[in-house]
Amino acid sequence: STLLPDFTGYAIDNNSILLTKRLSSGSFGVVYRAVSLKSRLVKEYAVKCLLNLDPDTPRSEALVREVALHVTVSDHPGIVTIHDVVEGEKFSFIVMDYCPGGDLFQASVARRLFRWNDDLLKQAFMNIIDAVEECHRRGVYHRDLKPDNILISKDGKQTWLTDFGLGTFDMISNEHHVGTPSYMSPECLGKDSREAYLTAHNDIWSLGIILFVMISGEMPWRRAQNDDSVYRDFRRWRTFSGHPVSTEAETLLLRIFTQDPTRRISLARLREEIVKIKTFF
């Protein structure tokens, strides 16, 4: 993103959308807040700006794949809507819904929005499950599920999944270490084995880490491999003592955090078990 100029005050799409404020930047692009100039009602957007690369480069192929993955599921109410992709000579702009409530990481860790609020946590997490379940139903596997990639309404009741930049249409993948290390499953990290892994099972592991963060405001470990002493202790004792996690929530988390991915709880069962939980704290 250091190769991108500052587009604040720049109009795109035949002067119909004005970029007003830089919101965030990642390794491959910058996201701006934007406003529609041509609609009678003020409509706000989030616009992701990306540098166009040679079409044959891996990054260019990845951008095409990101848009294809996102568009495949964009009409689901729990996924950020893509309205348009504006392609210029040097830069491309992905026009999406703007969500002013921030992301789930800020809500869970900085604002502690879900602390002691079982109903709100349950509602938000079930929304996330529904979005991921729909992705999987349509053959889209996210591979970078984390609170930073889930936008949230100010009251915490609605969530929207975003950023499909590391996603795949492949049910089985040989690409290890894809995603954010602290949210990756052991089989995706590929430290102990370099075998191909099931991308849906990897997403379910990531959901377990997200649930833990929503409950406790903390990470359970740095990464799920044996050179992490906290994870090693967890594998030995199978408990989260010292964290504000209820017994019933812990029991469910243990069904997510299985070393053997084929024994991991399914998304459908995960949703059923979340409904049953009386308290997460």
CATH superfamily of the domain spanning 11-97: Phosphorylase Kinase; domain 1 (3.30.200.20)
d(CA 245, CA 242): 9
Contact between 176 and 189 under an 8 Å Cβ cutoff? The reply is: yes
Give residue-wise pLDDT tens across range 218-248.
999 999 999 999 999 999 999 998 899 999 9
Q: Are 107 and 150 in contact (CB under 8 A)?
A: no
Please report the pLDDT score of residue 58 as a whole number.
74
For 273, the token pair is 């078990």
> Which segments of the chain have a pLDDT < 70?
1-2, 27, 192-193
Question: So what CATH class is 104-276?
Answer: mainly alpha
What pLDDT, on a 0 to 100 scale, did the predictor assign at position 192?
A: 64
The pLDDT score that the predictor gives to residue 28 is 73
Nearest to 53, CA basis, from 95, 94, 3: 3
Listed residue (202, 201, 181, 183) closest to 191, CA to CA: 181
Task: Indicate which residues carry an active-site annotation.
Answer: 144
SS3 of the chain: CCCCCCCCCCEECCCCEEEEEEEEECCCEEEEEEEECCCCCCCEEEEEEEECCCCCCHHHHHHHHHHHHHHHHCCCCCECCEEEEEECCCEEEEEEECCCCCEHHHHHHHCCCCCCCHHHHHHHHHHHHHHHHHHHHCCCECCCCCHHHEEECCCCCCEEECCCCCCECCCEECCCCCCCHHHCCHHHHCCCCCCCEEHHHHHHHHHHHHHHHHHHCCCCCCCCCCCCHHHHHHHHHCCCCCCCCCHHHHHHHHHHCCCCHHHCCCHHHHHHHHHHCCCCC
Q: Where are the domains of the chain?
A: 11-97, 104-276
pLDDT in tens, 172-214: 999 999 999 999 999 999 876 679 999 999 999 999 999 999 9
